[in-house]
Structure formats: structure tokens, C-alpha cells
Amino acid sequence: MKIAFLTLGCKVNSYETEKMKTQFETEGYEIVSFSEKADVYVVNTCTVTNIADRKSRKMLHRARRMNPDAVVVAAGCYVDSARQKGEEDESVDLFIGNEDKEIMISKVEKIMEKRGILNKENCPGHSVGEMSEKAEQELHTRAYIKIQNGCNQYCSYCIIPYVRGKLESRTEEDILSETKKLAAAGFHEIVLTGIHLSSFGVDREFKKTDANSFVKLQGKYLLELLQKMAQVSGIERLRLGSLEPRIITEEFVKKLAEIPEVCPHFHLSLQSGCDATLKRMNRHYSSQEYLQGVEILRKYFKDPAITTDIIVGFPGETEEEFKTTCDFAKKVSFAQIHVFKYSRRHGTVADRMEDQVDEQVKNSRSDRLLAIEAELEKQYQQKFPDQTQKVLIEEPVLIEGTKYLVGYNERYVRIAVPYEKGVSDESLCNSLIDVHINGSLEGDILLGKRERACNL
Ligand code: SF4
């Protein structure tokens, strides 16, 4: 049986797709590319914007066209939100919400058995949940671990708390056991992901009525977890997914900086640099508090990469408010900004707000902020020439007709070293090497010269 997966959206979805792939593989399925003919197609969907909804539907229809007899599965966030709206889609055989991803295999096989295309007794499966050797080999040099699900924040524009549910953290034992497995499989870098990473573990103590305790507890369990993960032999880098600004306190960052494995790369979701907009977004910090957090990070980490998300065209955003956000972005001097045009999500508070911003205005604001972003990114990259950077080599890549080995430094800057057959060949993939930066290539890739292999 051949099965093809396609992932849309965030890193949590990517992580969950890997899990689903492993389950199907251990049951004897062959994973094929989404452009091939398969018996089962799974689209792990996203609903964060209208465009994501549209793309999810488009991919499901594409799967149906690839093989009219295949079982087509829509999984994830779009499913949950479409259910709420009562949407149906004839090209889909099975809708699997986030809650049911882990039992998808039994639901898929029930359909196949009904259609007479699967006889389970003839399947050479193993027990579900164990990571197969092939799956391990096919994962990349950087592994993702989802440490929590759900979110209790209810930002006024966001559908996620409604489709992913309340905060739910995995146990420390469970995460550490997965970390050890990944380290044993040869991974040196782990990225911690989640829907609201900063709240990890808070659900163990948080009482609904006690908002202050909630804020106070943010970071406590995450720090403890990072300290333990760093002890796992073979783990060289721990990278944090998106953090919420309120977690950045002097106490938290000081302890974080004592863990050398933690990468100096912090994605702090800003969303707007204007306090009035932040308030309408139901984000619980001011631009000043955000800036203080950035200063703390810069005090304890050298040249940290501070990256962020910004939404333009939020309901009621005036030209003045937008300009305040642009000025703030320059003031923070972000290493990278992901710019999103506000997209109405049915059922959210912002969807019901008056003063929705015209699409043309959103497009123009997005272009203007992207121009600022390009400039800031260039400025950040200028910190590296003549420096030696530790690069985790990921893959050989052909750039402008020349072959390079490409990887990332701790600050998530992409760096290439010339490919020297017999010296820096593919055997260096998944190795950490010291690279002296001496130039740049197209597509914001820095160019460097290999110094020596780091000891692993
Ligand atoms: S913090 Fe806000 S934007 Fe992020 S998932 Fe929760 S509600 Fe959505």
C-alpha cells in the first residue's frame, strides 16, 4: 500500500505528519511523494488564514485527481474549523481532526477494508508507535519535538484555541524519552515546538481564575525541561520555537543563557508594534514591555537573532498605527520578520470588529513592511563576515551552477561552504563544522570557508 503526505502550515503540523508517517510505515505502508500515484493521500491542513483554507481544499482536490480510487484524508486544523462551519467536500473520504490524528490509521484501514482493497491479516505490520529505522533515516538533521498542544490565550484574531483546544502539555518523561531516541538516531539539533510553547507545563498548576499565577509560572517548566534535554548525550543544539514576549524576564533569560546548547535565536511574536492595536488583538503586553524583553536577551546572548511575526491590516489599523509598527520594527532591529496580512477567521472576535481594512491597503502595507524586513535582515547578516561560525551541515545544494554544502549556524543564518570532493563531501552532512565567513551568495546565504571539523 502506498501512502502520500502533504503538510501545510506550522511546525507543529510538520511534527505531527512525521508521527503519522512513522505509524503507517511501521504497519508496512510505503511512503511516496505527493506527486505520485498512491492508495492513500493525507493532507495535514492549516486554517490560519483564508489562503491556508483555500490551499488545503486545492491539495485535497489534487489528491483526488491523482487517483480517483484513493482514500483521501483531510487532517488537522482546517477540518476542525470546516466542521464548525458545516462545510463539506466530496473529494474527501475521511475528515480527521487534530484530536484523532493518532488513530488515523485504524480509520483509514476501515475504509479500505470496506472497499475490499485491504486484508489486514496479510499485512506484515509491527506494533504502532515505534519509530522504524527507515523513518529515522529519512528525517532531516534537525528534529522537531512537540511539547504541548492547545492555547488558552484567545488573541482576538486567532482561530487556533477553538480548533486546537485548551493548553495540554506532554510529560517531561515522554519528551526526554523522545529526545534520547532522536539523539541515538544521530540528531544533534532539536527544535521545541508547540502551539503556545511559553505555557509548557503551566496546565499542571494553573487555576482558571488565577491569571497572575499563569504569567508567573510561564517559563518555569520550560527551563527545567531544557536543562534536562541538554544533558542528553549527542544533543548539541536546542532551538526554541515561537515564544510569547511575557516569558522574557531577567530571571528566565539568565538561567537560559547558562544552558550552552540553547541557540541564541528567539522568535518572539510581536504581531503589532502599536499599543492600541495590541490591545484590540488581545495581546497582553505593550511595545515597551516587548522592547525590554529584547534588551534582556541582548544582555545575556551575543548578537541573538530576534525574529518575529507581524500582522498588517488588523481591523481598525490606521495609517498612523501601521507607521508606529514600522518604526518599532526598525527600533528592535529584527533579524527576520514574517509578515502576514490579516485574514478574517469566522468565529473570532476580530471577525466581528468594524473597520475591516481594505485588501488593497493590506497589500500595500505588507509590501512596505517587507521592504523594511529585507533591509533589517541584510543588516543582521552584516554582523558575520570575518567571523567563525559553527554550522550544522544539512545538504549539498547547487547554487548558480556550483555545488555547496549548506547548513545553519546557531542563529539560524544559512551558510554555504564550497564542495570539495573528497574533503568536504556528503559525509559532512549532519556534522558541525567551523566556517570562516568571507562572502555571500544569492538568496541571503552567507558564504564561508571550512576551518576544521568540530568535535562531536
Ligand atoms: S497565542 Fe494567540 S495567536 Fe498564538 S495560538 Fe494562542 S490565541 Fe493563537
Domain of residue 442, residue span: 388-453
More confident residue, 424 or 127: 424
**Is 127 contained in some domain?**
no
More confident residue, 173 or 422: 173
Query: Who contacts 225 (Cβ-Cβ below 8 Å, separation ≥6)?
Result: 147, 172, 175, 192, 200, 201
Element containing residue 254 per DSSP (H, E): helix 250-257
Q: What is the rounded average pLDDT for all residues in the chain?
A: 86
**Ligand 1 centre from 9 Cα, in Å?**
14
Question: Residues with Cβ within 6 A of ligand 1?
Answer: 151, 153-155, 158, 160-161, 195-196
Cα–Cα distances (Å) from 195 to 77, 198, 200, 350, in that order, read 12, 9, 10, 20
Asked whether residue 374 is assigned to any structural domain, the reply reads yes
CATH number of the domain that 70 lies in? 3.40.50.12160
418 vs 209, 385, 388, 392, 438, CA distance in Å?
Answer: 57, 16, 15, 15, 12
> What are the residue ranges of helices labelled H in 7-159?
11-26, 50-66, 77-85, 104-114, 133-138
Q: Do 88 and 167 belong to one domain?
A: no
- Considering the domain architecture, whether residues 377 and 393 belong to the same structural domain is answered as no
Q: Which one of 154, 160, 279 would you pick to mutate in the ligand 1 pocket, going by the greatest count of ligand atoms within 8 A of its CB? A: 160
Q: What would the grid cell of residue 174 be?
A: 515522554
The pLDDT score that the predictor gives to residue 140 is 64
Same domain flag for 373 and 397 = no
Spatial distance between the Cα atoms of 183 and 133, rounded to a whole number of angstroms: 14
CA of 314 to the centre of ligand 1 (A): 15
For the CA of 244, the closest atom of ligand 1 is 1
Q: What is the mean pLDDT of residues 440-446?
A: 85
Beta bridge partners of residue 414, listed in sequence order: 408
Do 419 and 392 share a domain, yes or no?
yes
| Mean pLDDT to the nearest integer, 221-228 | 96
Residue 215 has pLDDT above 80, yes or no: no
| Residue 129 belongs to some domain of the structure | no
Q: How far is the CA of 167 from the centre of ligand 1 (A)?
A: 11
Question: Looking at 68, 90, 122, which one is the last position of a domain?
Answer: 122
Does any domain span residue 131? no
In a domain, 289, yes or no: yes
The rounded Å distance from CA 196 to ligand 1 centre is: 7
Q: Which three cell numbers mark 422?
A: 573528497
CB neighbour list of residue 361: distance below 8 Å, 6 or more residues apart:
313
Residues 84 and 167 in one domain: no
Ligand 1, residue 282: give the atom nearest the CA.
2
> What pLDDT, on the 0 to 100 scale, is given for residue 213?
58
Summarised one tens digit per residue, pLDDT across range 356-402 is 999 999 999 999 999 999 999 999 999 999 999 999 998 888 888 88
- Please tell me the total count of domains within the chain: 3
The residue behind cell 483546544 is 165
CA of 158 to the centre of ligand 1 (A): 6
* Residue 310 within a domain: yes
Domain check: are 108 and 143 in the same one?
no
Q: Which of 65-69, 80-84, 97-101, 295-299 has the lowest mean pLDDT?
A: 80-84
How confident is the model over 86-91, as a mean pLDDT? 75
- Protein residue whose Cα sits closest to atom 4 of ligand 1: 196
Residues 422, 327 share a domain: no
Residue 132 lies in a domain: no
Q: Summarize pLDDT for 321-364 with one digit per residue, the tens.
A: 999 999 999 999 999 999 999 988 888 999 999 999 999 999 99
Q: Which domain-ending residue is among 331, 361, 381?
A: 381
The phi, psi pair for 70, rounded to 5°, reads -70, 160
Residue 13 has pLDDT above 80, yes or no: yes
Atom of ligand 1 nearest to the CA of 195: 5
pLDDT at 456: 43
Which atom of ligand 1 is nearest the CA belonging to 164?
5
- Partner residues linked to 247 by β-bridges: none
The better pLDDT of the pair 348, 82 is held by 348
Q: Which atom of ligand 1 is nearest to the CA of 271?
A: 3
* CA of residue 362 to ligand 1 center, whole Å: 21
Give the distance (Å) from ligand 1 centre to CA of residue 13: 15
DSSP class of 243: B
Residue nearest to atom 1 of ligand 1 (CA): 153
